[in-house]
Structure formats: structure tokens, C-alpha cells
Amino acid sequence: MVRKLSDNSWEIPIGRTPGMRVPGRLFVSESLLEGIDPGTIDQIANVATLPGIQKYSMAMPDAHLGYGFAIGGVAAFDREEGILSPGGVGFDINCGVRLIRTNLQKEEVVPHIEALTEALFHNVPSGVGSKSRIRASDRELDDAFLHGARWAVEAGYGVEADTEHCEADGFLDGADPSHVSTKARTRGKPQFGTLGSGNHFLEVQYVDEIYDRDVASAFGLVEGQVTVMIHCGSRGAGHQICTDHLRELSQAVKKYGIQIPDKQLACAPAQSREAQNYFKAMLCAANYAWANRQVITHWTRETFEKIFGRDADDLGMDLLYDVAHNVAKLEEHRVDGKKKEVYVHRKGATRAFPPEHPEVPAAYRAVGQPVLIPGSMGTPSFILCGTKEAMDISFGSACHGAGRIMSRAHAKTEFRGQTIKENLEAQGITVRATHPSVIAEEAPGVYKSSSEVVNVVHELGIARKVARVIPLGVAKG
């Protein structure tokens, strides 16, 4: 059913799903392959039937079942002959991760970790339906849809350097709020600066291991240093935008006579009105998510200032980087020796651009894009760098996290939140959540090992390990 190409690379041959235009390719170790659901492999094969797909339909080592496309999936489609599909992006448009440096050492933070975690939990609203202190006007919402993190910085939530250290400078061009429904706007307005629920979190961490001293130095990372990781997305706005346009694109599938093996793969020709309307609305959600993470960054800095009695500049709280891991983008890639423009869909996959790529910020141009891979609650997260190999193998992409292996429902029967919390506290990790069930659903045991997943992309060479960070305090919804 899958054919081994190398230690971490497997081919899903043409034929697993009728109508496959290219093979599938799954990047996993032999041991991770055992945990991959056959349905996930079917999803990778299904995507290979879509018009204009380039090279192969891929999935990263953290792959698992998603809506239509597998989570952990990467697929690139020809700009003219290809398609755009909301299932290839996911409901949480521009779910992503950012990492803030500090010049604090672990020893300085540990005595304050309970107060710090409590204050972060208090200052950054979290949980399903959580609301912000900010009540955005229609005009501000439009500005955020159009300008992302740049809007947030101009509104006073951060500094100029923050946007320079985001993928795409914290906003994508071409967004058009006229394709965002009133319902999506209503859901989005009160949610700027909120974390949400599920696997989203705000985590205080420390660097415990450096793998590549030169790159770590370029990223401003040293052993023992405290960092803050923020993982969240576009909240209700992005979810509603996806829902609205899925409905439109389900109709478009019939209109354009596209054969799809699964209704969840609703799509339309890339340059059709329907696909472009989705794309312009998706860019609004992507920009909303960058604005959201930027506002959270501001409140995180304020919280540190209060707890440590020093200002954020003095604490060295610079943004290291911000990555999107649920987004579709028009990018230039080399296919069959020729440069071409493709819509790269990354759904639970991180861009991993190499040294010297013009889209990598000047500060990191010599070493490659920072690739931020969050672990599950209580397990290590990793900082990697992008590589030339990623451009050759995976359309400049790597994995995005540990990858869930147990459903939320199952997790709640298997684990007790309070017990998990006590276990984590025994390891020196403070957890603050809206409800114990949130902790049970996100227990470390419901995920693959982040270390094992990261080792696959490192060994393949599609991203290289730079540093590992260990949690000290976690706030989540």
C-alpha cells in the first residue's frame, strides 16, 4: 500500500484512489508509519486527483485525518491549470506560532512562574468564545483584514520590528473584505487578542539544548534563556470565512465539472471567480490571525513588565519570528527544472525557506527562515531553520507540530485533567486552563512525540534543528 523510498520517505502509488494524477509522498519514519491511520493515507491519495497538482501530494510526519486534506498535508497547484480548496487550508486559517525572546534566564523566572502564568492567563483571554477587551470598529476590522500585524502595530500593539520578523511581514497582499460575510465580521470583531481553545496556548519556556550554535546565535538564542511561544489562529472569523466559502465552492465543483473523490475536497479552478473570492477572503482571515498574535504579544510584554518591574525593551522581548501553518499562498517554485508559480496549500505544515531566499528577513537571510514547531502541552518545542532541500523536496515546507493520535473524546475518558496537571507540576511545569477537561484533552499522551516528528524532517534535511525549548508555564483555553 505504501512503497519505501528511503528511511523517512514513502510513496503512495498512483491507483490507490482512482484518478490520481501524481503519486503521494509521506514523510515518516518506520515507527511513525505504524501510527498513521489508513484514512490519512487515503486523504493524501485523494488530493493527488485534483487538477493541476504538481510533483506529488505530500504529508509531513505529524500527519493525521483532517477535513478532506490530511492535517500535515502540503499540495501545490499550477496557477492557471490548478485549483484552490478551503480543505487544503483548514478551518483555522493562519493558525500559526510565534516566538518571543527575552534576556531572562530560567533561574530568574522559575521563582515567579506561578504568578507569571496566572497573570498571562488573566491578561490574554482564552477559551471557546472568549472575548477581548478591544471592541474593534468596522473600520478597524477592515484595517486588520487588509494589513494584519501592521494594523496592530499602528494601533499601538507592538513595535515596527515585530512585523519585519513575521512570515510575509505579518500581512498578505490581495485581501478583500468585501468577500467576508457579516456573520464572519460579527464573530471577528470582539476576538482580537484572544487565544481560543483546543491546542492553542501561550507558553513560557527555556532553551535547554542548542544543536546548531551558529544559527542559534543568528536567532539570538542561548542556553538557559527564557522564551515565550504563542500558538493560535483567526478564531471565529477564520472559521466562518472557511464555512461560508466551502458552501460556494461545493456548488462550483458541479458548475466546473470537477471530479472529486470526497465532497470535503470542494474546490474551483484557481482563476475562477469562486476560487478567487475564497482566496481574497482567506487572506483577510490570515491577516486577522497575524493581528491577533500581535495583540497577544503586546499583552504578553505588558504582563512581563508588571511581574519583573522592567520594561519590555530592557527585558529583550523581541519577536524572533512568526510562522503561518494553515494557509495557501502563491509562490514561485522550481518544477521539472523550470520556475513556475503555484498555489502552495499548507495545512498543518510550516514554510521552511532556505538561506538567501528573498522572503527570509534580512536578519536571518544568511541562515534560513526560523521554523517554529510547538510540542504538545508539557513536551519540548523546537526551533529549526529552513533549507535548500525543502525547496527541492517539499515546496519549501516542513512539519508543524507533534500531531494528535487520540481523539478529544477518547482523551477525556483516558485522562483526568487534575492528575495530568499534578504530573506536569511535579516536572516543574505550571499549567493554568479554563477547565480541567481542557488539560485532559491536551494531555501529552494524546500526541505523537514532538522529538520523533522533528527528527524526521531534520534527517530528511527539509529543516534543520537549531534549538530545543522546555515549558515552564502554560496558559490555555
Partner DNA sequence: ATGTTC
- Please say whether the beta carbons of 382 and 373 come within 8 A: yes
Using CB under 7 A, pick the residue from 88, 233, 368, 370 that binds DNA. 233
* By CB under 7 A, residue 350 contacts DNA: no
- In terms of CB distance, is 57 or 197 closer to DNA? 197
- In terms of CB distance, is 29 or 240 closer to DNA? 240
- x-or-dash pattern for DNA, window 428-457, by CB under 7 A? --------------x---------------
* By CB under 7 A, residue 200 contacts DNA: yes
* By CB under 7 A, residue 365 contacts DNA: no
- In terms of CB distance, is 199 or 227 closer to DNA? 199
Written as nine digits, the cell of 337 is 527544472
In three state form, how does the secondary structure of the chain look?
CCEEEECCEEEECCCCCCCCCCCEEECCCHHHHHCCCHHHHHHHHHHCCCCCECCCEEEEEEEECCCCCCEEEEEEEECCCCEECHHHCCCCCCCEEEEEEEEEEHHHHHHHHHHHHHHHHHHCCCCCCCCCCCCCCHHHHHHHHHHCHHHHHHCCCCCHHHHHCEHHHHCCCCCCHHHCCHHHHHHHHHHCCCCCCCCCEEEEEEEEEECCHHHHHHHCCCCCEEEEEEEECCHHHHHHHHHHHHHHHHHHHHHCCCCCCCHHHCCEECCCHHHHHHHHHHHHHHHHHHHHHHHHHHHHHHHHHHHHCCCCCCCCCCEEEEEECEEEEEEEEEECCEEEEEEEEEECCEECCCCCCCCCCHHHCCCCCEEEECCCCCCCEEEEEECHHHHHHCCCEECCCCCECCCHHHHHHHCCHHHHHHHHHHCCCEEEECCHHHHHHCCHHHECCHHHHHHHHHHHCCEEEEEEEEEEEEEEC
Say which of 165, 400, 410, 458 is annotated catalytic. 400
Active site includes 400? yes
Using CB under 7 A, pick the residue from 31, 178, 186, 407 that binds DNA. 186
* By CB under 7 A, residue 88 contacts DNA: no
Using CB under 7 A, pick the residue from 10, 56, 91, 382 that binds DNA. 91
Bridge partners (DSSP) listed for residue 347:
73, 326
Q: Tell me the site size for DNA, rule CB under 7 A.
A: 24
Residue 372 CB, shortest distance to DNA, in Å, is 16
* By CB under 7 A, residue 303 contacts DNA: no
- In terms of CB distance, is 471 or 477 closer to DNA? 477
- Please say whether the beta carbons of 327 and 174 come within 8 A: no
Piece of the chain touching DNA by CB under 7 A; list 3-11, 113-121, 197-205, 364-372: 197-205
* By CB under 7 A, residue 407 contacts DNA: no
Using CB under 7 A, pick the residue from 163, 199, 205, 450 that binds DNA. 199
- In terms of CB distance, is 29 or 376 closer to DNA? 376
Using CB under 7 A, pick the residue from 27, 61, 89, 92 that binds DNA. 92
Bridge partners (DSSP) listed for residue 373:
382
Piece of the chain touching DNA by CB under 7 A; list 18-26, 125-133, 220-228, 255-263: 125-133
Q: Please choose, from the candidates 15, 51, 49, 11, the residue with its C-alpha nearest in 3D space to the C-alpha of residue 27.
A: 11
Using CB under 7 A, pick the residue from 21, 112, 183, 388 that binds DNA. 183
Residue 220 CB, shortest distance to DNA, in Å, is 29
* By CB under 7 A, residue 62 contacts DNA: no
- In terms of CB distance, is 236 or 380 closer to DNA? 236
CA distance 231 to 87: 21
* By CB under 7 A, residue 93 contacts DNA: no
Using CB under 7 A, pick the residue from 9, 85, 191, 376 that binds DNA. 191
- In terms of CB distance, is 239 or 329 closer to DNA? 239
CA distance 471 to 429: 6
CA distance 410 to 146: 40
* By CB under 7 A, residue 1 contacts DNA: no
Residue 450 CB, shortest distance to DNA, in Å, is 15
Using CB under 7 A, pick the residue from 68, 73, 177, 196 that binds DNA. 196
Using CB under 7 A, pick the residue from 179, 239, 325, 432 that binds DNA. 239
Residue 22 CB, shortest distance to DNA, in Å, is 28
Using CB under 7 A, pick the residue from 17, 240, 369, 430 that binds DNA. 240
Using CB under 7 A, pick the residue from 51, 96, 198, 261 that binds DNA. 198
Q: Rule CB under 7 A: which residues touch DNA?
A: 91-92, 95, 127-129, 183, 186-187, 191, 196-200, 232-233, 235-236, 239-240, 404, 442, 477
Active site residues: 400
